[in-house]
Amino acid sequence: MLRSSALKAGAASLFALGLAGAALAAPACPDGARPCDRSAARAQHARMNGDPADHAARHLERLKTELKLQPTQEAAWSAFATQALEQAKAARAERDEMDKLGNSATAPDRLAAHISALKRRTATLEASQPAMTALYASLSTEQRAVFDRQGPGARPPRGPGR
């Protein structure tokens, strides 16, 4: 009995040691002085998440179907959808610009780029507000409930009991 416990403990120790050795054997960055460049991880994230304009177009199509718009609401919808697609295209350009900057820039340069991007994003959101407000005003009470649940800025339920 004691011998089997010792064997199990020894096997577990060897397994843990093997995992630790594999982690330590992971390749280091070429210069070894700094953490690896994260641009490859960002590029993979971009590939996994796709183009923001494509995502926005699919979301707008689903939202339009759910809203069951009346012909009198089409003009307001078109203005809103155009603004939303322009925002998505701008988001892609921002993401590409930040990826180009990467880790090669200094910390103050990266911070300045983030501040600049946030200012442009704020201006884009402010420019799109009238189109969304006009669309929202044209919606019925039921349509507003759908828009509030699925429109811009809405988040799916998270956590237990969703």
In a domain, 48, yes or no: yes
In a domain, 118, yes or no: yes
pLDDT over 60 (residue 147): yes
State the total domains in the chain. Answer: 1
For residues 118 and 152, give the distance between their C-alpha atoms in angstroms, rounded to a whole number.
18
In a domain, 53, yes or no: yes
In a domain, 1, yes or no: no
In a domain, 156, yes or no: no
For residues 92 and 54, give the distance between their C-alpha atoms in angstroms, rounded to a whole number.
10
Core vs surface per residue 1-17: b (16+ CB within 10 A) or e: eeeeeeeeeeeeeeeee
Domain hosting 107: range is 39-150
Q: Tell me the whole-structure pTM to 2 decimals.
A: 0.63
In a domain, 3, yes or no: no
Mean pLDDT computed over 19-47: 58
How many residues are present in the chain?
162
Between the ranges 30-39, 42-51, 150-159, where is the mean pLDDT highest?
Answer: 150-159
In a domain, 29, yes or no: no
